[in-house]
């Protein structure tokens, strides 16, 4: 079965899995340059128990969130890398979403049982709102690992290129 899905395929699969009594775990992010913090987060999310769907933000969205010269890797590349991780069941390519309502609609369509997030995430209030819409539970699976950051890695690469 294909592991990188478009929205329609993911919604259809999510419905089938729920009918089979399986838990749907939803996680998401930019995942621009994969590092140990990402791996630990995804492994912890999968350990909750269920089928792990991972949102991968669009290139346009990553650029808006992370700034100029980002993403380093395009969405398709990020999705391929994520799909190779054992803990990840499915990767969902999401288009540029401009409003909270668009994200909410997508989450409602997928109807997860659980939404995995990092402790202290700036997105927690959005995750809680979305969970409430579908009767899901938000689980903070791990804390951030300070020395592991794509922005830090990108800064180092940028400094090296300036020498």
pLDDT tens profile 58-70: 999 999 988 888 8
Report how far residue 79's alpha carbon sits from residue 10's, in angstroms, rounded to the nearest whole number. Answer: 14
pLDDT at 46 over 60: yes
Q: What is the CATH number of the domain that holds 102?
A: 3.40.50.620
- Contact, 48 vs 142, CB < 8 A? no
pLDDT value of position 162: 61
- Contact, 55 vs 6, CB < 8 A? no
Q: To which residue do tokens 């300036």 refer?
A: 162
Supply the mean pLDDT for the chain: 90
Q: State how many domains the chain has.
A: 1
pLDDT digits (tens, 9 = 90+) for 81-139: 999 999 999 999 999 999 999 999 999 999 999 999 999 888 899 999 999 999 999 99
Q: Taking the model in full, what pTM does it have?
A: 0.88
Report how far residue 117's alpha carbon sits from residue 152's, in angstroms, rounded to the nearest whole number. Answer: 20
Find the domain containing 38 and state its range.
Answer: 4-162
- Closest to 26 measured CA to CA, from 124, 142, 97, 127: 127
């Amino acid at each position: 079965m294909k592991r990188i899905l478009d929205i329609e395929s993911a919604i259809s699969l999510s419905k089938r899995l729920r009918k089979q009594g399986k838990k749907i775990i939803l996680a998401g992010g930019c995942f621009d340059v994969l590092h140990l913090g990402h791996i630990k987060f995804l492994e912890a999310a999968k350990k909750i128990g269920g089928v792990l769907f991972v949102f991968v933000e669009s290139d346009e969205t990553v650029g808006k969130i992370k700034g100029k010269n980002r993403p380093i890797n395009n969405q398709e590349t990020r999705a391929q890398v994520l799909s190779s991780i054992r803990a990840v069941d499915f990767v969902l390519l999401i288009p540029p979403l401009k409003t909270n309502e668009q994200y909410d609609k997508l989450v409602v369509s997928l109807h997860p049982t659980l939404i995995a997030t990092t402790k202290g995430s700036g997105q927690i209030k959005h995750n809680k709102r979305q969970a409430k819409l579908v009767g899901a539970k938000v689980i903070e699976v791990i804390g951030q690992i300070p020395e592991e950051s794509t922005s830090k890695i990108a800064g180092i690469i940028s400094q090296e290129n300036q020498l």
